[in-house]
A and B are shown apart, each in its own frame.
Chain A
Amino acid sequence: ATEWNVSTWGKRRAFTENLEKLAELVAQKTNGDFKLNISYGGLSKAKENLDGISIGAFEMAQTCAFYHSKKNPTITVAELPFSRDVTLTRMTEIYMELFKHPLVVKDLARWNATLLMPTPMPQYNIVSKSDALNQLADFSGLRVRGPGGIMGVLSKLGAVSTGVPFTEVRQSMDSGVIDAASFAPHAHLATNSYKVGKWATTNLNLGTANCPVIVNTDALNALSPEHKAALLGSVDEALAYYVNNYDNNTTGKYEAAIKESGLTQVTFTAEQTAELNTLAESVRAEWVKENSGDFDAQAVLDFTKAQFAK
């Protein structure tokens, strides 16, 4: 029998259902001969999952690109604001295409890592406990926890990026270390940010975090052909299950929670959205400039942009 250790963090939630389903399917297909043991934080700190994969301490892990953008610069492209709200199913397709891009494959190969599947998430929205947000200028001085692309745009409006640990988000917001957190619905639910917040945005289209599931390349190559087939052959079904669960059980639950907690819903007007999109444009340009020394960033951006446009 083969056993793989899988490292993720927090508790079981919508975010981890792709892993849970994958483990279930793989065990099913191999009659329990190939087991994925998912550990919630026991094997590594969230931000060091990529190190763990590189070392070979565990075979599979979930990680987020923005935790260490310098370690995996190519996949941070998917965290850039493309000003498009696409479905989770489409997000999945975009990621799968991106993960096959040769520059991306090469980037992750430095860590002896192979991208297995994405963890697609809806566009991030903000929950904040500061005074009501009436205009974009009110972002000035707002301390926000969020991934690179969103923070790139918001910092142009004067927001301050403040990176508290995931588990301390609620307390940090309560005590004013951060004013706002930018998350996908499941994470607002997991951190209870909405219980502290006063307002929530509804239609921010500044991107999401890219949190792929990666595997140790040597371990993948060492699998028997049947096991490998079982693993790779289960990815699509695991993702479909994930997307279905997220769309039907999580997003709605979050929206209900926001309403029930009485948060003011901030919906950006068409003009405001246009202004944000202009800023997003320059954030994308800066990303290219910043990374061009290391790889053909323009090519990766164009590729991703084309995917979003489809």
Chain B
Amino acid sequence: MDNISIGIWVTGVMLLLVVIGVRVAFAAAIAGFIGLVWIFSAKMGFEKGFLVAVKMAGTIPHSKVSTLALSLIPTFILIGFLAYHAGLTRALFEAAKRWVGWLPGGMGVATVFSTAGFAAVSGASVATSAVFARIAIPEMLKLGYDKRFAAGVVAAGGTLASLIPPSAILVIYAIIVEQDVGALLMAGFLPGAVSALIYGGLVVLLAVTRKDFGPPVTGFSWKERFESLPGSFPIFFVVAIIVICIYGGVGTPTEAGSLGALMILIIALYKGMRMHALKESLLETAKLTVMIFTIIWGVLLYVRFLGFADLPSAFSDWITGLDQSPMITFLMILCAYAVLGMFMDAIGMLLLTLPVVYPAVMALNGGDAVTAADSAFGVSAVGCSIWFGIIVVKMAELCLITPPIGLNCFVVAGVRPECSVQDVFRGCTPFFVADVITIAVLIMLPGIVLWLPGLMGFT
């Protein structure tokens, strides 16, 4: 059997293992190991092939994990776990309410913008939704907003956390495709802001067109507005640190993340966080870090096997050989992601698919050295790898609010017993439409993604 057939078989085994409920990291590691044994045995006999595979596999966990750029991940996670203790969520929501609450559907708009603000200290969408489900939903219900809408806007707002830095998932994407982490983080800013604006516009539109939508909150004086700001200053600090460090060339992304985490930690301690809460935050951070790193090395073991089987290049040859326009193929890939995302977690989905899909997308665009002018998607090779990263992360986020497994919706329903999961999914429908519009905009206007990285010299 040739290597490519082995590659396809082993990939099938991996998907089977994932479907029957083996932990994703280990399903990938098992498949990768079986694949290595298979390939080496075919070449040098089973006994020797097995031993070579064991030795090869044994180098991967340590070597893949000790990648400098990955050190960013735990700092981003820590920021998220500490942000709540620093009192940022309530302060943000309060400020947003006073500043934009007067708009039609004002509480919804305030929720969108405060989740967007919280996204700047949180790397995880699910956590953001969980926090705001406690803060924003009760207030909206009190004012007579529709239950489904209130739940939907919180679930959808949470997804902004993965585009607006800090974002663990963008870091993981950058590592997998070997693109500059800083460039990807900067690239996330504008699309995140555009997403938030589209969400906000949608809420206003809904409020204007529907009867009994829920009242705006008015009557805040300018003094009250300005008084609400200091509480949310740490957010601006974190954003400033990240921008100054990465864009201004003061430090690496890891250093930016660390400075942010340190500052949030100091504020949390000042706000009275106890030893117990710190310990819990560290445990949770460590657990999530281990989860992410395990899936990274597990999947990279499988990717190493793919390297030997040469499956990615075979796949991209096939994709580029299709008799249709590259854009159609690209849109079909995105649809495949939408379907896959219904059933899978974002990080797992990206890690499992990117090693094969990413080279294919790059090839579709015209290869590793193509200029924007000669390319299929109007972006240079470097631009394509950044642009595709943002789009695919946005796709993965979209899946957090679609049935049957929309994690953000489950979280909101879990926190608010009065909302059923069905309610939340229903409430998310308009935001699903908004996300599709956002993705279309990002595909048509790659400049939104590439402008900031372009200023840094990534074009």
Contact = CB atoms under 8 A, between A and B. Distances in A.
Interface of A: 5, 11, 37, 39, 41-43, 45, 47-48, 51-52, 55-57, 164-165, 167-168, 170-172, 174-177, 192, 195-196
Given A57-B55, A175-B249, 6 more contacts: A11-B368, A41-B178, A48-B59, A171-B181, A174-B249, A192-B457
Contacts of B56: 52, 55, 57
B178 A167 contact: yes
B63 interface: yes
A43 B310 CA distance: 10
Contacts of A167: 178
B249 A176 contact: yes
Nearest to B249: A174
B69 A168 contact: yes
Nearest to B69: A168
Contact of B308 (A43, A170, A192, A196): A43
A172 B252 contact: yes
B449 to A, nearest CB: 19
A165 B68 contact: yes
Contact of A57 (B52, B250, B251): B52
Contacts of A47: 63
Contact of B246 (A11, A165, A170, A175): A175
A55 B63 contact: no
Interface residues of B, number: 32
Contacts of A195: 457
Contacts of B63: 45, 47-48
Contacts of B456: 174
* Residue among A51, A174, A196 with max Cβ neighbours from chain B (10 Å): A174
Nearest to A5: B308
Contacts of A170: 180
B191 interface: no
Contact of A37 (B182, B304, B306, B310): B310
B230 interface: no
B170 to A, nearest CB: 15
A82 B304 CA distance: 40
Nearest to B183: A171
B144 interface: no
Contacts of A45: 63-64
A171 B252 contact: yes
Interface string B41-84: 00010001000100110010001100111000000000000000
A175 B307 contact: no
B44 A56 contact: yes
A13 to B, nearest CB: 11
B245 interface: yes
B432 interface: no
A11 B69 CA distance: 19
A218 B306 CA distance: 25
Nearest to B52: A56
A142 B384 CA distance: 35
A57 B40 contact: yes
A196 B52 CA distance: 43
A55 B69 contact: no
A-B residue pairs, 10 tightest by C-beta: A42-B307, A55-B55, A57-B56, A174-B249, A175-B252, A56-B52, A45-B63, A175-B249, A175-B251, A43-B307
A96 to B, nearest CB: 30
Contacts of A164: 68
B252 A51 contact: no
A286 B255 CA distance: 35
* Residue among A57, A170, A177, A195 with max Cβ neighbours from chain B (10 Å): A57
Interface string B312-338: 100000000000000000000000000
Contacts of A42: 304, 306-308, 310, 312
Contacts of A176: 249-251
B52 A55 contact: yes
Contacts of A56: 44, 48, 52
A267 to B, nearest CB: 27
Nearest to B307: A42
B328 to A, nearest CB: 29
Contacts of B312: 42
Nearest to A52: B56
Interface string B5-48: 00000000000000000000000000000000000100010001
A306 B69 CA distance: 43
A129 to B, nearest CB: 9
